[in-house]
Amino acid sequence: MAKTLMGNVAFFLTTYLLLFTMLFPANAQFAKKTYLIQMDKSAMPKAFPNHLEWYSSKVKSALSTSPEADMDNEERIIYTYQNAFHGVAAKLTEEEAEKLEAEEGVVTIFPEKKYELHTTRSPTFLGLEPEKSTNMWSEKLAGHDVIVGVLDTGIWPESESFKDVGLRPVPSHWKGTCEIGTGFTNSHCNKKVVGARVFYHGYEAAIGRINEQKEYKSPRDQDGHGTHTAATVGGSPVHGANLLGYANGTARGMAPGTRIAAYKVCWIGGCFSSDIVSAIDKAVADGVNVLSISLGGGVSSYYRDSLSVAAFGAMERGVFVSCSAGNSGPDPASLTNVSPWITTVGASTMDRDFPSDVKLGNGKKIIGVSLYKGKNVLSIKKQYPLVYLGSNSSRVDPRSMCLEGTLDPKVVSGKIVICDRGLSPRVLKGHVVRSAGGVGMILTNTEANGEELVADSHLLPAVAIGEKEGKELKSYVLSSKTATAALAFKGTILGIKPSPVVAAFSSRGPNFLSLEILKPDLVAPGVNILAAWSEAIGPSGLKIDNRRVKFNIVSGTSMSCPHVSGVAALVKSRHPEWSPAAIKSALMTTSYVLDNTKKTLRDSSTAKPSSPYDHGAGHIDPIRALDPGLVYDMVPQDYFEFLCTQNLTPTQLKVFAKYSNRSCRHSLASSGDLNYPAISSVFTQKTTTSFPSPVILHRIVTNVGPPDSKYHVVVSPFKGASIKVEPETLNFTRKHQKLSYKITFKPKVRQTSPEFGTLVWKDGFHTVRSPIVITWLPPPM
């Protein structure tokens, strides 16, 4: 009996496993993912009345004819693209995608890709709001006819930053709309927020249906990030803006007369490429002049990056595209969004800080930062016991990071707890401390963060301090059983020196896709930025935070990107005929590299001078950008010629050539000849014993200053190479005249690391500065 039972069980298990192994691969075979399918618009047969029917026919021709597939009545196409990108986004199996890619008329197929967000003193700091002058904000310069599309988490339309008082009627070229949805109606758009759209089909295909109990399935912002970036671009002036009393003053965007169009592409689970490309496609059709995109998803080859391809299409239509560089610094080569037709923005500090003191029982004082403002206040006259649950060893201890469930109330109750940064949100650590009975927190940087301090609106009295001071503090606590401290919050302090400083988190160059294209392009304020916020979430962004604020202070290259987008809108308003390349050139060549102590910009991660791999061309200077004197202009074909130097196959090049039937004219001798405002020379040794040949690069400048202008060149010296510029003088006789010059780099002494310098054209009033990078590459293995 027992043997029979055991035999039956064995038979059942064997049969089950056999069926499982047979069915599982079959199910996997029919699992669908989203793909972006780029089509050659010109290849449509005459038999089709329109491109949509042709696209649909192509997709249907690739669908599986198996019984399992026949049972599936799901609509496959989720988006159609026809402006910055041509084709569709569709849900396909891997086999179907491979079959479709081989079809005639299909240029390429991009698998769905997930992107992440790169999470009001800045106008004054940037010189846009002189203390005793309002001339800058005249009707001519406010950007009334310029529309900036912001791809982000949506918008909180009730914010005072989006009031339209004093604005002229919406520009006639605007073709966009205000989509209605949960908590969002047509009335939420006005002469400031001229449009709002929502994109979620790609997200739902990858993640599942949006939970409308947690998120607004509409342009309304549940997160706060999109409201903050939109207000930074072009928020209307709001007097008395502050976060819990910090940074009190007038909050306004870079271009307060600019119109905003919100394109919601990001959700709790991330941002997906099919949604992003659809938003760019719609934005171009709607009539935006500038696109501000504060998100990224790593680096792919130009032809495999759907965001890059869509941005190329937008640039072809005259749209300036600004993207955040990423928050993966200070690691080298950590950049994202590196295509030359995209303006890549790093982050820097301002001359404003929120200092707090940690006064130790041994008499030592440590200066940190905090945005704490709450009911629980620690007496500055009283010392509180300190506790640190880590050790001096290098072993990671979850308790030292104050992770949830790791703190014993018997140990921390009534004490100030020292918590190491890492693994969990900074403010959440304070919540863990408070829940365990702690009365305060000192948040210490680790090696990954260095000395850079980011202020947070903590839920209990808390101060963030640097790595060096953190080590000294922990040594004090571990060596003394009676260690104590008091916390004091100093409010808002202006005039901080040195500033600006390149943020440690700001992603760095070089651009390994193309060393000849220097990235980032420039830096802008991205640390502790005050701007409008969604009232659906607290300032910490945590669900447990029940506070509601109208403005918030946030850091990231997500914040620096809209600064540049807003200034680009100002330049576009002053010079409506300028191309995206001309605007980018103006921003780069007028940027500065000296801080408010007249020394070279510094790197927060090292406290040493930063390089163009950190700050690009320099720190944005809006006033000078309006009158750059000369610009390095380009047309779309110039960017295509650059791609022709990148060893791409004809099929890969077609990704960028499909709309305008572009072909390589081979006008560039090398990729370094692209008429870029930054200059990068690469010496390549052919063998270990040979010396590199000289590198010759060419540039063309367009006079946008006085008709009769004479410029002379100044080049900084280099150890490893001699540099000759021909001619050394440029004599312009009319406005918009173009003159060319040649730069010859002759190697002298091999260098083991890149060298940095500048090339400057001067006419006595304008200073047109380009960073130079010289790199030595070893011979191929």
Tens digit of each residue's pLDDT (9 = 90 or more) over 706-721: 999 999 999 999 999 9
Spot the catalytic one: 118, 201, 225, 228.
225
Spot the catalytic one: 159, 348, 514, 558.
558
Q: What is the average per-residue pLDDT within 461-487?
A: 91
What pLDDT score was predicted for residue 145?
86
What pLDDT score was predicted for residue 29?
54
Percent of the chain surpassing pLDDT 70: 90
* CA neighbor of 228 nearest in space, from 171, 140, 282, 161: 161
pLDDT band at 463; cut points 50, 70, 90? very high
DSSP, res 80: E
DSSP per position, 669-696:
SSGGGS--SSEEEEEE-SSSSS-PPPEE
Q: What are the residues whose beta carbons fall under 8 Å from the beta carbon of 568, sequence distance 6 or more?
A: 290, 320, 322, 343, 583, 584, 587
Q: What is the average per-residue pLDDT within 61-65?
A: 80
Q: What is the average per-residue pLDDT within 364-391?
A: 89
Distance from the Cα of residue 681 to its chain's centroid: 26
Report how far apart, in Å, the C-alpha atoms of 405 and of each of 13, 408, 427, 432, 540 are: 40, 8, 15, 8, 20
| 661-679 per-position pLDDT tens digit | 789 999 999 999 999 999 9
What pLDDT score was predicted for residue 390?
86
Distance CA 76, CA 74 (A): 6
What pLDDT score was predicted for residue 119?
65
DSSP per position, 170-236:
PPTT----B--BTTB-GGG--SSEEEEEE--HHHHHHH-S--TTTS-SSSB-SSSHHHHHHHHHHPP
pLDDT for residue 191 is more than 90: yes
DSSP, res 330: T
Distance CA 575, CA 560 (A): 23
What pLDDT score was predicted for residue 507?
94
225 is an active site residue: yes
Beta-strand pair 738-747/695-703? antiparallel
What pLDDT score was predicted for residue 375?
78
Q: What is the average per-residue pLDDT within 563-568?
A: 97
Distance from the Cα of residue 620 to its chain's centroid: 16
Helix, strand or coil for residue 111? Answer: strand
Q: What is the average per-residue pLDDT within 315-339?
A: 94
Q: What is the average per-residue pLDDT within 723-737?
A: 97
Spot the catalytic one: 145, 152, 221, 305.
152
What pLDDT score was predicted for residue 144?
66
pLDDT for residue 688 is more than 50: yes
What pLDDT score was predicted for residue 381?
81
Residues 641 and 667: beta-carbon distance below 8 Å: yes
Q: What are the residues whose beta carbons fall under 8 Å from the beta carbon of 8, sequence distance 6 or more?
A: none
Least confident of 231-240, 382-391, 569-578: 382-391
Q: What are the residues whose beta carbons fall under 8 Å from the beta carbon of 402, sequence distance 6 or more?
A: 417, 419, 420, 424, 429, 432, 433, 441
Q: What is the average per-residue pLDDT within 627-651?
A: 96
Q: What is the pTM of this model?
A: 0.91
Report how far apart, in Å, the C-alpha atoms of 485 and of each of 380, 433, 588 are: 9, 16, 47
Structure tokens at 177: 């709309």
- pLDDT averaged over the chain? 89
Beta-strand pair 295-296/270-272? unpaired
Q: What is the average per-residue pLDDT within 63-72?
A: 59
pLDDT band at 542; cut points 50, 70, 90? confident
pLDDT for residue 21 is more than 60: no
pLDDT for residue 394 is more than 80: no
Distance CA 213, CA 703 (A): 56
638 is an active site residue: no
Least confident of 123-137, 293-307, 505-519: 123-137
152 is an active site residue: yes
What's the full length of the chain, in residues? 781
Q: What is the average per-residue pLDDT within 424-430?
A: 91
Helix, strand or coil for residue 651? Answer: helix
pLDDT for residue 133 is more than 50: no
What pLDDT score was predicted for residue 451?
81
Q: What is the average per-residue pLDDT within 317-341?
A: 94
Q: Which residue has the higher pLDDT, 10 or 537?
A: 537
pLDDT for residue 396 is more than 80: no
Q: Which residue has the higher pLDDT, 135 or 478?
A: 478
Distance CA 366, CA 357 (A): 6
